[in-house]
């Protein structure tokens, strides 16, 4: 979850009106005064123009029949044709449902798991054991999905994967987890939880550490059991953080984990594993349907933006924070 960014407000309060008026008049003077800062920001600004804003400009090919020889601007205009093609196509339902099902299951199963692990780490009295578990549990976050693919093969392959070796030795039939439509989503979700749960505890642990310890002492005096203390103090104490992270994840619900699925999936499991991003890659880059793929990407971008803004609103209302 590298993109976690929860801040009260990104920009500080706007300068007050008196300041603004004074700043507007001698514009040139300001530019001279701050010339080094403006010069310093030019490389980064150039980066944003070239690699962030030019793509936004190029996104117009979603409304055009893009011909590489004519270029982005002069390609013939087609309006919403590509969007309509996509909405009417048989893969529309499949892509949307795969994306949302995989995303939601990761969220619904992953967040409670992370909270449980954080609570266990917080409650254990063995300090060294705790840091050992933390060290091991954080590690998979830093491994790429290609490495994870290797690890999963060693665990799941029908030939000599560990799980299948155990199944075989107890008389069962080996299961082709990675290529079977019945199992693929399970593998995707379980491996995501395996990889990211440890790392996700960091933020919950920090929130737990932030709870006023006198609350726990008072509960102890009142005779509350351990579980009662978790239920009535720890969980309510970290509830704002839980709400924020859930909202953030919901805002990114259309990102079902492109890198992961790109590595793990194969033709037999497209029906249950193909998500918007993988389809955009295949149709755009491999099949050269550049305009159609751009339209689908743009559709995802617009929905994503709306979801993020809604999530931001909700989080602000419930927990008093803003995400960005």
> Scanning residues 181 to 240, which ones bind another protein (CB under 8 A)?
194, 197-198, 202-203, 206-207, 223, 225-227
Binder to another protein among 32, 84, 108, 146 (CB under 8 A)?
146
Q: How far is the CB of 8 from another protein (least distance, A)?
A: 7
Distance CA 283, CA 304 (A): 20
Candidates 78-86, 101-109, 211-219, 274-282: pick the segment binding another protein (CB under 8 A): 274-282
Which residue reads 């529309």 in tokens? Answer: 92
Candidates 76-84, 91-99, 176-184, 279-287: pick the segment binding another protein (CB under 8 A): 279-287
CA dist 164 → 148, 154, 157, 185, 264 (Å): 18, 10, 7, 18, 18
Q: How far is the CB of 45 from another protein (least distance, A)?
A: 7
DSSP state of 64: B
Candidates 46-54, 80-88, 95-103, 174-182: pick the segment binding another protein (CB under 8 A): 46-54
Distance CA 197, CA 202 (A): 9
Give per-residue burial for 194-232: e unless 16+ CB within 10 Å, then b.
bbbbbbbbbbbbebbeeeeeeeeeebeeeebeeeebbee
Counting contacts by CB under 8 A, is residue 44 touching another protein? yes
How many residues belong to the site for another protein (CB under 8 A)? Answer: 108
Which residues 6+ apart lie within 8 Å of 31 measured at CB?
38
Binder to another protein among 32, 84, 108, 162 (CB under 8 A)?
162
Candidates 48-56, 73-81, 82-90, 93-101: pick the segment binding another protein (CB under 8 A): 48-56
Binder to another protein among 32, 56, 70, 239 (CB under 8 A)?
56
Please check whether residue 175 is in contact with residue 167, taking contact to mean a CB–CB distance below 8 angstroms: yes
Binder to another protein among 32, 84, 108, 136 (CB under 8 A)?
136
Candidates 89-97, 100-108, 119-127, 179-187: pick the segment binding another protein (CB under 8 A): 119-127
Binder to another protein among 70, 80, 97, 124 (CB under 8 A)?
124
CA 295 to chain centroid? 22
CA dist 157 → 123, 194, 286 (Å): 37, 17, 28
Q: How far is the CB of 147 from another protein (least distance, A)?
A: 5
Q: How far is the CB of 127 from another protein (least distance, A)?
A: 12
Which residue reads 């939601």 in tokens? Answer: 104
Distance CA 70, CA 213 (A): 67
């Amino acid at each position: 979850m590298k993109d976690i960014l929860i801040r009260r407000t990104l920009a500080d309060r706007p300068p007050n009106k008196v300041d603004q008026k004074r700043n507007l008049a001698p514009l040139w003077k300001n530019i001279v005064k701050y010339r080094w800062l403006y010069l310093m920001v030019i490389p980064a600004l150039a980066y944003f123009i070239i690699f962030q804003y030019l793509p936004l400009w190029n996104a117009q090919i979603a409304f055009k029949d893009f011909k590489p020889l004519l270029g982005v601007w002069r390609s013939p205009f087609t309006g919403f044709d590509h969007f309509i093609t996509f909405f009417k196509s048989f893969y529309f339902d499949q892509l949307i449902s795969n994306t949302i099902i995989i995303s939601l299951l990761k969220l619904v199963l992953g967040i409670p798991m992370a909270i449980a692990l954080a609570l266990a780490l917080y409650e254990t009295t063995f300090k060294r054991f705790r840091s050992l578990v933390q060290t091991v549990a954080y590690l998979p976050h830093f491994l790429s999905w290609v490495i994870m693919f290797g690890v999963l093969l060693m665990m799941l392959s029908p030939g000599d994967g560990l799980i299948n070796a155990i199944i075989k030795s107890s008389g069962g039939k080996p299961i082709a987890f990675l290529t079977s439509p019945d199992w693929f989503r399970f593998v995707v979700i379980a491996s995501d939880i395996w990889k990211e749960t440890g790392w996700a505890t960091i933020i919950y642990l920090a929130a737990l550490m932030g709870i006023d310890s006198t609350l726990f002492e008072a509960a102890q005096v009142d005779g509350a059991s351990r579980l009662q203390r978790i239920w009535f103090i720890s969980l309510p104490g970290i509830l704002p953080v839980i709400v924020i992270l859930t909202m953030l994840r919901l805002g990114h619900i259309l990102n079902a984990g492109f890198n992961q699925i790109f590595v793990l999936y194969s033709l037999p499991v497209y029906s249950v594993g193909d998500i918007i991003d993988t389809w955009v890659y295949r149709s755009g880059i491999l099949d050269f349907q550049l305009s159609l793929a751009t339209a689908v990407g743009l559709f995802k971008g617009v929905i994503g933006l709306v979801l993020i803004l809604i999530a931001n609103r909700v989080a602000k209302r419930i927990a008093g924070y803003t995400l960005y």
